[in-house]
Chain A
């Protein structure tokens, strides 16, 4: 197993002022794995992704992706990853194609490659018919899909999906699941964060439950479920509430 570990994170810590947002987080993700990072609002999921995607420096700890250190060799890491942020990080005034082409070119593709890749990726997320329309005219679910398609433009080996399904209908959500599963089948490694337990249960090979900046549970969905009861009876939601408590967050 060790030789296929694509991402290794060890002892990650990050504080914002006096507030410890991430505290001693360690986990590994194997190649072709969909790894879920679950946790209530403010648990520190996005902060972990920002550190892994080279935009935020950890206070302590080490991350390597594809054998490259995220801090020491961030340029090499950036060539391997694609990030779909929690926000819709795109230009609503531009068409779907223009958005994809722009980010593709910024990632180093030339004009022709970028246009070709944009076409492929829009097809992948089912937006080929709306390619020329401005993103601001899209529904929430369509915008989310554009957000994902942009992350695919650099042909990453590791894809970070930070809550890609917030606020969208079951059809769009289902489409996104299928897209993620297809990507995994094609060899991509995925880190996926979500609040939706049934989503994690369906998609993730392994998952970590985070709360208050620390990982409090780690394993396959079945392993986690069997820790609190009969894995065929309990849901991941039960596991989550068992671990994180029922108190309201944020």
Chain B
């Protein structure tokens, strides 16, 4: 094991050295994605409500209860200008075309939440206005997600209060949504399907992570080509006859590619923050965690490809093709949250989809770190599975 690690790190640092000597590779890894992102951000920022708060109408059918305090909290949001109306009023305004739609908290909302039952938020829009439907559903989805959390916190607090001593502990029990499975944690559902975002986003808050994901995976996929070249010019066989283990080669290539992916991520994030003033959300640590895991998953993807292709040409085409297919499926070309449900489900089959899902949650919808544990877990699983298959399949010879 120590031998394998030593050899793997020697290979990785050799590859890194080669990379930094190769100006073209560097330009391809850093400059090209950067130009791409700048271009698209500029193109997209012309459209849509850049920095303009979205008008959202909320209706609550409760006299008092949780929904009122939530509405109050939401009214302070800088992203949306929130107004409330009675139901009939809102309906009339919708019919008059004064508003595009509204979100309704049902009359039994608080009661359902407190009793631990499931409930739903309503989204009312005109049939012929898919944009409003998307925006409001996304908003409601987000609110619903928060409620599920709130409800859990509430239950935790209730548990606490129910303790016979009645003693108030300084810290509430440390429970997060991840610890509740869906059977025990009642959810706040939605009447409409989940689609759409709410927060008027800066284009770069979506484009930067999306294109970054695409390019990191693309560059990593192309490392399969470099591996195939080494197979062809027999350096891998030479290493094997020299006492190098097959696993060392796979791991070394994996680590080297992960270094490069990580370097790409650091450069791009810094550029994004310094030049585009992108917003990392309330949990930048989670953005970093997703980035790191994405670097690992992409590197594992590179060695996986290398273990399936033989020739250099095959590796090159496989790298380009898989990237071209996976990037749009994984939500790198357009936001997943505006895509139909089946596309969102399809995206879950790709590491890109999970990475983008996480970035969007964190950077557009203001999610906390605890809300992206699924995304983090999925990326770990992809990285581990890709690497395991590569270790099993990888051959050093071109036979």
Contact = CB atoms under 8 A, between A and B. Distances in A.
Given A94-B18, A98-B17, A106 B235 contact: no
A152 B399 CA distance: 26
A134 B23 CA distance: 14
Contacts of B141: none
B237 A106 contact: no
Interface stretch (B44-52, B241-249, B259-267): B241-249
B18 A89 contact: no
B237 A91 contact: no
Given A98-B17, A150-B238, A93 B243 contact: no
A91 B399 contact: no
A55 B397 contact: yes
B396 A55 contact: yes
Nearest to A107: B242
Contact of A79 (B237, B243, B396): B243
A89 B243 contact: no
A167 interface: no
Contacts of A50: 237, 397
Contacts of B242: 78, 83, 103, 106-107, 154
Nearest to A46: B234
Given A75-B243, A98-B17, A106-B242, A87 B233 contact: yes
B18 A85 contact: no
Interface in A47-76: 50, 53-56, 75
Contact of B244 (A56, A81, A83, A106): A106
Interface in B326-369: none
Most buried by A among B7, B234, B238, B241: B241
Contacts of B14: 91, 94, 98, 102
Contacts of A105: 10
Nearest to B235: A89
B174 to A, nearest CB: 47
B17 A106 contact: no
A78 B10 contact: no
A78 B372 CA distance: 48
B227 to A, nearest CB: 13
B82 interface: no
A88 B238 CA distance: 10
Contacts of A107: 242-243
Interface residues on B, range: 20 to 34
B241 A78 contact: yes
B21 A89 contact: no
Interface residues of A, number: 30
Given A75-B243, A98-B17, A89 B238 contact: yes
B10 A89 contact: no
B234 A106 contact: no
Contacts of A210: none
Nearest to A153: B242
A91 B18 contact: yes
A16 B397 CA distance: 13
A215 B313 CA distance: 36
Given A55-B396, A79-B243, A90 B17 contact: no
A108 B245 CA distance: 12
B22 interface: yes
A54 B234 contact: no
A37 B10 CA distance: 34
A83 B396 CA distance: 15
Contacts of A78: 241-243
Interface string B258-289: 00000000000000000000000000000000
B18 A54 contact: no
B239 interface: yes
B235 A91 contact: yes
Contacts of B238: 83, 85, 89, 103, 150
B240 interface: yes
A174 B397 CA distance: 32
A55 B237 contact: yes
B123 to A, nearest CB: 57
B399 A16 contact: yes
B54 to A, nearest CB: 52
A56 B235 CA distance: 15
A53 B396 CA distance: 14
Contacts of A85: 234, 237-238
B219 to A, nearest CB: 17
B232 to A, nearest CB: 8
A75 B397 CA distance: 18
Smallest CB-CB A-B distances: 4 pairs: A53-B241, A89-B234, A89-B238, A85-B234
Interface of A: 16, 50, 53-56, 75, 78-79, 81, 83, 85-91, 93-94, 98, 102-103, 105-108, 134, 150, 154
Given A53-B241, A90-B235, A93-B22, 10 more contacts: A56-B399, A75-B243, A78-B243, A83-B238, A88-B233, A89-B234, A94-B14, A98-B14, A106-B11, A154-B243
16 contacts: A55-B241, A56-B399, A78-B241, A83-B238, A83-B241, A85-B234, A85-B238, A86-B234, A90-B235, A91-B14, A91-B18, A93-B18, A94-B18, A103-B239, A106-B10, A108-B243
